[in-house]
Structure 1
Amino acid sequence: MKFFAGLDVSLDETAICVVGDDGVIVREGKTASDPAALAEWLSKSGVEFQRIGLEAGPLSPWLYEGLRAAGFPAICIETRRMKGATAVMAVKTDRNDARAIAQAIRVGWYTAVHVKTAESQQLRLLLTNRKTLQAAQLTLENEIRGTLKAFGLKVGPITIATFEGRVLELVKDNPRLLAMVRPMLLARESLRTQFAALHRMVLHATRTHGACQRLLTVPGVGPVVALTYATAVDIPERFPRSRDVGAHFGLTPRKYASGEIDRNGSISKAGDQMARQALFHAALSLLTRSHRWSPLKAWGVALAKRRGLKRATVAVARKLAVLLHRMWSDGTDFKWTQETPASA
């Protein structure tokens, strides 16, 4: 008999359910959410597993790698599909979720999720930390602007470097406001310093990443976009066709076809949100800021004239996702052709 296991992971404990190939539950229980504890519990079951499933989550990469290293056939599965399977449950518990995962693993009703390499996970942490500090700095600046408006003090259009000087100039005649604003400015300056440190780390990582250097030859693609894309794809060989990358990042339209109805909707926005946003910004930069023409820009500009800039930017972002993967897989750089578009 073949055996399968489902793991419902929480922060402290993991519910486990073991079933046979006939769907009958063989063993159930709970143990600590730790690779060693899970491996020990599964070993004591005394059976040989065909597949062990756990949903993608914060602890999943750690547990997946630990179980794999211990010799267990662990599979990280996509959460949205399992959510649909468990939505009809009258009683939702960790035990029932583990049962549902075990049955889905048994019958093959799941979508496997790629677990990124340790290097990609670390670089993604660098990118998310950088983005967090950048957002915190912007939040502080907006808070300062908003509070000063109540006193008729308008910061107005200003650069990042001259923001502090402008604020101090506005409140210099009001000691009480100055005393309250200064801590905010000190916190902002600290965020700027640490953000700059992380940004330098991003630039260094881009210079030492072979794929990123190749991706940077594409117009509109900068260090942050290149590193974001590289960490999102991780291993280019996991995509048999380059055109699959656009759908993987949620840049292809939704489709609804039933009976006489067959319509396309907006993009699915599935997959990696950070990579999708990075590709969108790269496409927008290519269309609006790049002065050198290429077939890709000519196509995007022509589409923008017919369908609008936003739709054209999404379409170019999808093409960029495919193009970057093809370049990475083939080991080629971006090739420029004519300097001006044929239809100019």
Structure 2
Amino acid sequence: MDLFVGLDVSLRSTSVCILDSAGELVKEAKVESEPASITAVLEKVAGRYRRVGLEAGPLSRWPYSGLAAAGYPVICVEARHMRAALSARINKTDKNDARGIAQMMRVGLFRPVHVKTERSQEIRMLLTARKFLQSKIIDAENNLRGLLRNFGMKVGAVTRAQFESRVKDLLEERPHLALAVAPLLEVRRVLCAQFQHLHKAMQRMATDDPVCRLLMTAPGVGPLVALTFRTGLDEAARFRRSRAVPAHFGLTPAPYQSGEIDHGRGISKCGDANVRWALMEAAGALMRRNTKSSPLKAWGRSIAKRKGQLRALVAVARRLAIILHRMWTDKTEFRWQAQTA
């Protein structure tokens, strides 16, 4: 008997629904969100499991890895497709969602997504922690600027290293304000120290990784961009064609057509926003700050003259994604000079 399973995973519990090939209900259960608990339910039902489906999300990787290690044909389903399929159900409950997922597995109405490796998840965790500390440093600085502005004291344009000394200079004649400002400066000092710790760890990680070292030979690509692109792509073999990479990260146009209406809406902005931001940053560095000439830079400048700087940056980011994937696939460094075909 062929069996199809739907899992509605939440933080504490998971609803399990098992259907046969005819769509008849075989078993329903609600267990802890642990791979061992889920596999214990599946082992009690005799049959051949064809598909075990669950929705892609922050809670999906742990049960996915456990079920895959146990030998079950587990599939992680794209969240937008699953939401559209389950929206037809009037009553939204965990049990009904599990039934809907099981039906999607039975009829094949789903779009699978790639579940990243543990190594990519570890790198992404470091990058996320670094970004969090960076945002809190900016919040602390903006808060201090706003508090001092109420008393007519303007910090002005200063570097991160000069910020604390500038604030202390402003407070020399107002010592009573230092009671409120000093703790905030101490918090900012701790945040900056921990941010530098993570930043250096990120640089070491990029230097030790052979893929990142290869990607950093391209103009505008530093440790942050290389690690972000590596974790976003995870495995170069996922894409048979390099031209599919920009579309995966939302850098290609999104057309809108309905009847006589047919126009574009800019880029789709789907996929990993962090990778899209990293590619745009690399394109900006290549176009503005990188001094060494290359065919890619000359091509981007020609587009900027015809269509504007913003469109040129998007076009360069799109082409850079193709080049980086091809470099990773072929294990070749960036070519600064065009070669004759």
Q: Cα distance, 1:247 vs. partner?
A: 0.7
Alignment correspondent of 2:286: 286
Q: Trace 1:237-276 onto structure 2 (pairs within 5 A).
A: 237-276=237-276
Cα deviation per residue 1:186-214 (whole Å; 9 max; x = unaligned)? 10110111111111111111111111111
Q: Which moved more, 1:307-316 or 1:273-282?
A: 307-316
Q: Trace 1:128-277 onto structure 2 (pairs within 5 A).
A: 128-277=128-277
CA distance in 2, matches of 1:22, 1:253: 42
Cα deviation per residue 1:225-283 (whole Å; 9 max; x = unaligned)? 00110111111001111111101111111122344443322111111111111011101
Q: Cα distance, 1:176 vs. partner?
A: 2.1
Q: Which moved more, 1:268-277 or 1:254-263?
A: 254-263
Alignment correspondent of 1:322: 322
Q: Cα distance, 1:47 vs. partner?
A: 2.3
State the 4+ residue runs in structure 1 displaced beyond 4 angstroms. none
CA distance in 2, matches of 1:332, 1:137: 38
CA distance in 2, matches of 1:31, 1:124: 29
Q: Give SS of 2:270's match.
A: coil
Look up the equivalent residue of 1:330 and give its one-letter code: D
Look up the equivalent residue of 2:302 and give its one-letter code: A
Q: Trace 1:324-339 onto structure 2 (pairs within 5 A).
A: 324-337=324-337
Alignment correspondent of 2:107: 107
Q: Cα distance, 1:21 vs. partner?
A: 1.8
CA distance in 2, matches of 1:312, 1:21: 52
Look up the equivalent residue of 2:180 and give its one-letter code: M
Normalization by structure 2: what TM-score? 0.97
CA distance in 2, matches of 1:57, 1:240: 25
Give 5+ residue unaligned stretches, structure 2.
Answer: none
Look up the equivalent residue of 1:168 and give its one-letter code: K
Q: Give SS of 2:7's match.
A: strand
Look up the equivalent residue of 1:79 and give its one-letter code: A
Q: Is 2:94 the counterpart of 1:85?
A: no
Cα deviation per residue 1:278-315 (whole Å; 9 max; x = unaligned)? 01110111111111111111111111122221111111
Look up the equivalent residue of 2:205 and give its one-letter code: A
CA distance in 1, matches of 2:284, 2:307: 15
Q: Give SS of 1:224's match.
A: helix
Look up the equivalent residue of 1:165 and give its one-letter code: S
Give the aligned length: 338
CA distance in 2, matches of 1:242, 1:311: 21
Look up the equivalent residue of 2:143 and give its one-letter code: E
Alignment correspondent of 2:297: 297
Alignment correspondent of 1:76: 76
Alignment correspondent of 1:63: 63
Alignment correspondent of 2:14: 14
Q: Is 2:97 the counterpart of 1:97?
A: yes
CA distance in 2, matches of 1:105, 1:195: 44
Q: Give SS of 1:172's match.
A: coil
> What is the percentage of aligned positions where both structures have the same residue?
51
Cα deviation per residue 1:146-172 (whole Å; 9 max; x = unaligned)? 111111000000010010000011112
Alignment correspondent of 1:5: 5
Q: Cα distance, 1:88 vs. partner?
A: 2.7
Q: Give SS of 2:115's match.
A: coil
Q: Cα distance, 1:75 vs. partner?
A: 0.9
Give 5+ residue unaligned stretches, structure 1.
Answer: 339-344
CA distance in 2, matches of 1:155, 1:125: 34
CA distance in 2, matches of 1:176, 1:272: 47
Look up the equivalent residue of 2:69 and give its one-letter code: A
Q: Give SS of 1:200's match.
A: helix
CA distance in 1, matches of 2:180, 2:173: 13
Cα deviation per residue 1:42-80 (whole Å; 9 max; x = unaligned)? 111222210100111122111111001111111111111
CA distance in 1, matches of 2:212, 2:334: 12
Alignment correspondent of 2:47: 47
Q: Give SS of 1:256's match.
A: strand
CA distance in 1, matches of 2:263, 2:96: 37
Alignment correspondent of 1:342: none
CA distance in 2, matches of 1:330, 1:104: 38
Q: Cα distance, 1:23 vs. partner?
A: 1.9
Q: Give SS of 1:7's match.
A: strand
Q: Cα distance, 1:175 vs. partner?
A: 2.0
Look up the equivalent residue of 1:332 and give its one-letter code: T
Normalization by structure 1: what TM-score? 0.96
